[in-house]
Amino acid sequence: GVSQESEGSDGFSVFGSATQSNSWAVDGQDTSNADTGRSYWWINPDTIEEIQVLAVGAPAQFGNMTGGAFNVVTKSGTNDFRGSLNAYFQTSGLTDDGPEINGIAFNRDEFLDFSATLGGPIVKDKAWFFLAYQNFSDTYSEPGVDPAYPTLFPSIKYDGKLNVAISDSILMDAKFHFEDWEWEYGDAFSTADAQGNQGGDNPAWGLGFDMVLNDSNLLEIGYAGWRGDEHWRSRTGSTDDPFIDYSPPGGGPPLYSGSLWYPYQYDLVRDQLDATLSHHADEFLKGDHEFKFGVAYGQGSNDTITAGGVNGRYYYRYEYVYDYYGYEYIYPYYYRTTARAYHYGAESETISAFVDDSWQVTPRLTLNLGLRFDQVN
């Protein structure tokens, strides 16, 4: 029931629902982007233990979505020291030049993806750690692009997790994630001033406690939060007004110069608090039951400021050709558009409550019954 939204997209439709209808989580922590319905994090693959995909028939614990619920479960340390090293690279000698535009072929400067993990005991049977690091760098120039201004895509990710058995009945889980990324895009139809620099950082953290109250009851309490910021601006820092030539000499695609068209600054905030009580009842109401009662509170915001140019305006040119009995008359038009800086975004507050019953009627029949309430302001 899961299909890719479009070729090359990181969005998914689940049983025909919109991408914005999905819910994404890392270790139960909501990482959904309220604007797009995609996950806002880029996870280091070497930290992933398993991935849960839930849709139709998902327990009431997974709510506030009408599409799919995706939960990435990350690795933890154990009583044995374990680690990994991975490196993937590609050089210009391993990459074909391909076609040329204006005498300039594809150029591969660098491709390197290095990651390392290490996990193990701090105190055996009491405390464990897991650390991960990933350094990714990709630098290349498309055909026709000045190699002095290649496309750059560096990113660094840090992950850490600490598990502590405070007592025989209480387990603490603390985690931290940080990623710093950048993307500078070079193309053959924009001057360096009109090429973009995109980047930002995403810190995230979480703290949870699993408390065994007795043989039948388990209490889980967790807090998690994350922040995100992203910018889009001229890679040279130009403050000139953008200019777009829709009718360049000799024809062809539009040419961009001056500075970046519609730069922006994008900021996100998310905090959430969850509490779940699980109760196991044997031979109750003609079967075995796993009851779950939960409440959650979350708040978040996203704010974007953008404009038609760094000075709130941009210019463009267009030529109109009129054919009069075989004679062509060319009329060039020049326009100025004023699009001053403005904000758009939202603030949200969510209160949720649910009750869920996994009822094993017979060894071959289990009914999942649940009720959930979500109030989003």
Tell me the pLDDT tens digit for each residue of 334-347.
999 999 999 999 89
Nearest to 69 by CA among 116, 22, 137: 22
Q: CA 306 to CA 289: how far, in whole Å?
A: 53
Q: CA 222 to CA 184: how far, in whole Å?
A: 38
Q: CA 343 to CA 307: how far, in whole Å?
A: 9
Q: Which tens digit of pLDDT belongs to each residue from 124-176? A: 999 999 999 999 999 998 888 888 889 999 999 999 999 999 999 999 999 99
Residue 35 pLDDT level (bands cut at 50, 70, 90): low
Average pLDDT of the segment spanning 91-104: 84
Q: CA 54 to CA 67: how far, in whole Å?
A: 9
Q: Which tens digit of pLDDT belongs to each residue from 189-228? A: 999 999 999 999 999 999 999 999 999 999 999 999 989 9
- Model pLDDT, residue 187: 85
Q: Which tens digit of pLDDT belongs to each residue from 301-328? A: 889 999 999 999 999 999 998 888 888 8
DSSP secondary structure string, 57-95? Answer: T--TTS-S-SS-EEEEEEP---SS-EEEEEEEEE-GGGS
Which contiguous run of DSSP H or E holds residue 259? none
Q: What's the maximum distance between 2 C-alpha atoms anywhere in the chain?
A: 94
Nearest to 346 by CA among 303, 308, 292: 303
Q: Which tens digit of pLDDT belongs to each residue from 60-70? A: 888 777 888 88
Quick one: CA torsion of 39, 42, 45, 50, rounded to 10 degrees? -20
